[in-house]
């Protein structure tokens, strides 16, 4: 019984680590603190934007982004206050879980050991999407968000759109930044 009580915190920590490692979307933000975000009411996309997404995924992302920005009060305009640039890339994560097997022995002045690391789980494909907001008048970056999330190449169109919506919702949950 005592052994179970000692092992219990280990399993709780292991479960929490696995759960947190599988979080869906991770986002980092950066912005110019001197920017007055209330000055921006309209946006458009760079005409030469090369997002790195497939044509269909880019359409899905722009559709979701447009609806999100419209819900925040921004309008799509020919002569905008700011431009949006989107960059994306995919990469494969190396498996980071290992199981170690060890064999050792000891005796009179004799010792030895063997340890083997076996990777557990598959490496997953991740997609990083970066959103840049550039002031149209000053031609200066004033807000940036970078997201990273899991990606399945063989996902259905509806799953892809849900995943892109989750990314946009998470990225723009803190846009515009609160004044401090």
pLDDT tens digits for range 97-131 = 555 555 555 566 555 555 555 555 545 788 899 99
Name the strand (E) or helix (H) holding 64: helix 55-71
* Summary mean pLDDT of the chain: 80
Greatest C-alpha distance within the chain: 84
- Write down the pLDDT at residue 11: 46
- Write down the pLDDT at residue 152: 81
Is pLDDT at 73 greater than 80 in this prediction? yes
Backbone φ and ψ of 163, nearest 5°: -65, -45
- Write down the pLDDT at residue 39: 93
**Which contacts of 154-157 are long-range, i.e. CB under 8 A and separated by 24 or more positions?**
157/56, 157/60
The rounded percent of the chain whose pLDDT value lies above 90 is 50
Strand partners, 62: none
- Write down the pLDDT at residue 115: 54
Strand partners, 41: none
The answer for residues whose C-beta is within 8 angstroms of residue 83's C-beta and 6 or more apart is: 43, 44, 45, 46, 133, 134, 136
DSSP 155: -
pLDDT average, residue stretch 135-164: 91
Coil/strand/helix, residue 120: strand
- What fold does the segment set 25-92+124-180 form as a domain? Double Stranded RNA Binding Domain (3.30.160)
Instruction: Single out the residue of 176, 170, 164 nearest to residue 64, CA to CA.
Output: 164
- Write down the pLDDT at residue 137: 95
DSSP 72: T
pLDDT higher at 104 or 65: 65
Is pLDDT at 6 greater than 80 in this prediction? no
Is pLDDT at 23 greater than 50 in this prediction? no
Instruction: Give residue 5's pLDDT band: very low, low, confident or very high (50, 70, 90).
Output: low
* Tokens 């892109």 belong to residue: 164
């Amino acid at each position: 019984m005592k052994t179970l009580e000692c092992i219990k915190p280990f399993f709780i920590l292991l479960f929490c680590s696995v759960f947190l490692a599988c979080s869906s979307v991770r986002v980092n933000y950066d912005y110019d603190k001197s920017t007055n975000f209330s000055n921006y009411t309209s946006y458009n996309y760079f005409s030469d934007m090369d997002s790195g997404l497939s044509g269909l995924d880019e359409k899905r992302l722009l559709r979701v982004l447009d609806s999100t920005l419209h819900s925040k009060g921004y309008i799509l305009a020919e002569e905008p206050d700011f431009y949006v640039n989107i960059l994306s890339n995919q990469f494969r994560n190396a498996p980071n879980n290992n199981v170690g097997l060890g064999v050792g022995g000891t005796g009179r002045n004799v010792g030895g050991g063997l340890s083997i690391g076996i990777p557990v789980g598959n490496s997953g494909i991740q997609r990083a999407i970066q959103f840049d907001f550039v002031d149209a008048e000053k031609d200066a970056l004033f807000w940036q968000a970078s997201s990273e999330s899991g990606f399945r190449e063989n996902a259905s169109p509806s799953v892809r759109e849900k995943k892109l919506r989750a990314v946009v919702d998470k990225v723009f949950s803190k846009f515009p930044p609160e004044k401090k």
